[in-house]
Every structure is written in C-alpha cells, then in structure tokens.
C-alpha cells in the first residue's frame, strides 16, 4: 500500500457551478458586485439590454483572461488559469442606454458553500417580468437543493458506515469491527500526519490524524474524493466524518472514511481505490492508496 503526502497545486473535486440571479436594485449601496470564476471555465453575464462593446472593459485582465466576448446582451469571461485568492479584477459593463454596472471578478470563495459562476442573470429592475421569473427559478432550485440535503441527512442517520466513521473519527476503534492493518507517519512543511488503514467485514476504513504544527493560519478541510484511477475516475461512495473541520496552530484532529465493498467493485472485479483529502484552498493535502485486500469476508 502506497501513501503519499502531497501539496500539489491540483484542483480538487469538480467545482460547484451556479446559474444565479443578481438583482441590482436589492443592493443599491454596493458599488461592485462579485463574479466568481475558475481557470479555463467560461462565465456568462446576461443583461436585460444590449451591451456597449466600446464602454465594456475588463480592467487589468491581460495575461490572465482571454479577451472578453461582448455581443448582444451577453459578456463572456474566461480566465486562462485559476486566480489566486488575492486576485480581484475589475469589470465595467455599460449598456446601450448608458447604464453602468461595476463588478469584481474573483476566484470562488474557499468555504464549502463557494461556487463558480456559470451564468449570472443581471437585472436592473427587480419588478420586471424576466427578473421575477429568474428569481422564481432560483428559489425553486434552492428548495430542491434543501430537499435533497434533507434526504441525504436522513439516509446518513440510518447508515451503518456513517456510524462507524463517527466512532473512528472520535477514537473509539474498539467499538467497531475494524482491525488496524497499517500505520504510516508523514510530515510536510506545516502539518504532521498519521494515516491508519483498517480492515473490516466487507469494508475498509482510513483514519487520518492531522496536527497543524507550523502554519499560523487555521487549516480547514474542504472535501474528500474516492476514485479508481485505473478503471474509472468516477467518484465512489463512502462515509466520512470529521472530529473537527478546522485546526488552529498546534491543534489536532481526525478524518475518518469508511468504504463498503461495493465501492471497490468494477467490471474487472475488485479494484484498489485512491483517497484524496483536499484543504480549504483546493490543494490536495494527502493521497492514500486503499488496497481492496483490506476487505474481509
């Protein structure tokens, strides 16, 4: 079993993309509105009226963006790369009737709820028919998302794997059917890591112990991904629990992952899986190879 500590500048799981409505009359005192973009991903701003190409400009975007595409009621932005967390690029859009909108183009927020804008529908008058219709679609999408989240939480409440992951994340290994098979200790510039691999009845588990040793900024968990790179990069199902999602300097915490036998199955039979842990800024903190031999009958 190979384990690799990494701080590679690889993007994490596929970014969440959004189609959202921006009602300018709801924010009359906000001079610049944020547009969230990702490298080599097109973001479309759609307005009620045609844009003036001469007076619509992405300021200081040379070398960081493709030339903006301005036509009809749309402005299309495409960064050449991911922007750094402190990169903010001004965008001024002028409509044919002289209305001026100011935006700050920036990378997605690192919090779990952050997103990349796929399309932003911008409305000057919130009472217009199209503005009301777009807002209604946003509301229905949020309602659907809440229903799906509630269903997911209900399933997790009755999930044996999530119960095991909770026990492992809080150090109660003796209350689970898992047996410790391997322990690896790793270090990098700002984090001490210990990885434990467990064998279980038709299940495998990984517990990652992290200690924020040198970084004065809090370390925050972003996401985890379990895949089989050899056969299929599609994410596999697993249960995950955190002892804590944020570690200040000197603080320790555990991340527990439990995968059922079904996650290892493929057309070719059982395959090995790769577990990746991503920190807040999207960088990969750790890669763990999870061998299918951890599954006990």
Averaged pLDDT score across all residues of the chain? 83
- Say if residue 123's pLDDT is above 60: yes
CATH, domain 160-296, list 1.10.150.20, 2.60.40.10, 3.90.180.10, 2.102.10.10: 2.60.40.10
Q: Decide: 198 and 205 in contact? Cβ < 8 Å.
A: yes
**Tens of pLDDT along 263-279?**
999 888 899 999 999 88
Q: Decide: 255 and 208 in contact? Cβ < 8 Å.
A: yes
Q: How far apart are CA 273 and CA 69, in angstroms?
A: 42
> Residue 250 carries which DSSP code?
T
- Full-model pTM: 0.58
- Say if residue 52's pLDDT is above 80: yes
Question: For residue 269, what are its two tokens?
Answer: 């039979």
For the chain, the structural domain boundaries read 17-155, 160-296
């Amino acid at each position: 079993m190979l384990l690799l500590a990494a701080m590679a500048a690889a993007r994490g799981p596929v970014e969440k993309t959004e189609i959202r409505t921006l009602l300018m009359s709801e924010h009359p005192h906000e001079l610049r509105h944020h547009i969230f973009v990702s490298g080599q991903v097109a973001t479309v701003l759609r307005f009620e009226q045609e844009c003036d190409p001469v007076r619509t400009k992405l300021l200081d975007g040379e070398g960081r963006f493709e030339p903006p595409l301005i036509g009809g009621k749309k402005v299309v932005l495409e960064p050449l790369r991911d922007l750094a967390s402190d990169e903010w690029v001004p965008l001024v859009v002028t409509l044919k009737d002289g209305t001026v909108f100011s935006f700050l183009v920036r990378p997605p927020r690192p919090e779990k709820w952050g997103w990349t804008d796929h399309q932003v529908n911008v409305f000057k008058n919130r009472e217009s028919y199209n503005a009301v219709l777009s807002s209604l679609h946003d509301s229905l999408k949020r309602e659907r998302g809440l229903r799906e989240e509630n269903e997911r939480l209900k399933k997790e409440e009755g999930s044996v794997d999530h119960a095991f992951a909770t026990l492992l994340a809080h150090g109660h290994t003796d209350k689970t059917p898992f047996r410790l098979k391997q322990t690896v200790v790793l270090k990098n510039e700002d984090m001490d890591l210990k990885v434990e691999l467990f064998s279980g009845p038709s299940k495998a588990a990984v517990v990652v112990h992290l200690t924020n040793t040198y970084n004065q900024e809090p370390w925050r968990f972003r996401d985890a991904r379990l895949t089989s790179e050899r056969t299929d990069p599609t994410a596999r199902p697993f249960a995950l629990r955190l002892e804590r999602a944020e570690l200040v300097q000197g603080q320790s915490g555990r991340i527990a992952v439990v995968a059922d036998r079904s996650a290892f199955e493929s057309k070719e039979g059982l395959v090995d899986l790769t577990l990746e842990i991503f920190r807040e800024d999207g960088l990969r903190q750790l890669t763990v190879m999870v061998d299918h031999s951890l599954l006990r009958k």
